[in-house]
């Protein structure tokens, strides 16, 4: 069998759990708010009613319990302005797509370490499981909890790159991570430790 054929077969096998995961998600997802999702409705009202940027910026960046959910708010506002209403299925989809961002990182790490493509096979099967069912079907939590993991891993990978432009981008990504979830604050001290270990 040729290398191209093997690559195609492995790629299709890698896609299989992604397809199954999103088919299961689509079958059960309902456009209803869950718990903290109601705070996003209040944000939309506050942000839409703000007269100027001095009122809009605090609405976007203010604390929500122990978290700053600015990324979730931005996605919610984009959804609201695009579709004319806040659709919680769209928020769930955005969060679940963020979960996929870990797979290309694993691929990059494997290729960088000269590992074959088939070494990536277990990752989507382990990563995309129904163990995430609560976050899968909760708009705010899916963006917050899946996003913080993906952004954190990418921040760590990029901050260890010696190129100044890539390191600068990692700082921007670290800031986005902090604005995704309270857990994102940990990206800063852990990133500093990783830099000292270089």
Residue appearing with tokens 């609560």: 134
Q: How much is the pTM?
A: 0.86
For residue 105, which of 150, 141, 63 has the smallest C-alpha distance?
Answer: 150
Residues 87, 111 contacting (CB under 8 angstroms): no
First to last CA, the chain: 42
pLDDT of 24 above 80: yes
Alpha-carbon distance of 103 to 54, in angstroms, equals: 39
**24, 27, 32, 33 alpha-carbon torsion, rounded to 10°:** 0
- For residue 170, the enclosing domain spans 3-197
User: pLDDT (tens digit, 9 = 90+) per residue, 134-189?
Assistant: 888 888 889 998 999 999 999 999 998 888 999 999 999 999 999 888 888 888 88
Predicted confidence at residue 37, as pLDDT, reads 81
- By 3-state DSSP, what share of the chain in percent is helix, strand and coil, each rounded to 5? 80, 0, 20
**Six-digit token pair at 47?**
């942000």
Tally: H helices and E strands in the chain: 12, 0
User: pLDDT (tens digit, 9 = 90+) per residue, 30-65?
Assistant: 998 888 888 888 888 888 888 888 888 888 888 777
pLDDT of 106 above 80: yes
| Average pLDDT value for the chain | 87
Alpha-carbon distance of 184 to 178, in angstroms, equals: 4
Task: Give the count of domains, the chain.
Answer: 1
């Amino acid at each position: 069998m040729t290398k191209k054929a093997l690559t195609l077969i492995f790629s299709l096998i890698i896609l299989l759990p992604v397809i199954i995961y999103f088919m299961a998600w689509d079958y059960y997802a309902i456009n209803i708010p869950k718990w903290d999702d109601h705070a996003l409705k209040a944000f939309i009202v506050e942000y839409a009613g703000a007269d100027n940027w001095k009122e809009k910026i605090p609405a976007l960046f203010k604390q929500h319990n122990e978290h700053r959910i600015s990324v979730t708010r931005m996605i919610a506002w984009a959804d609201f302005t695009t579709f004319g209403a806040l659709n919680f299925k769209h928020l769930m989809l955005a969060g679940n797509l963020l979960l996929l961002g870990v797979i290309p990182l694993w691929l990059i790490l494997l290729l960088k370490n000269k590992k074959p493509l088939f070494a990536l096979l277990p990752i989507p099967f382990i990563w995309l499981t129904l163990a995430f069912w609560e976050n899968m079907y909760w708009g705010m939590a899916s963006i917050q909890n899946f996003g913080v993991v993906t952004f954190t891993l990418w921040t760590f990978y990029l901050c260890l790159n010696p190129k100044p432009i890539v390191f600068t981008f990692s700082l921007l990504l670290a800031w986005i991570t902090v604005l995704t979830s309270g857990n994102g604050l940990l990206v800063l001290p852990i990133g500093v430790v990783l830099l000292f270990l270089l």
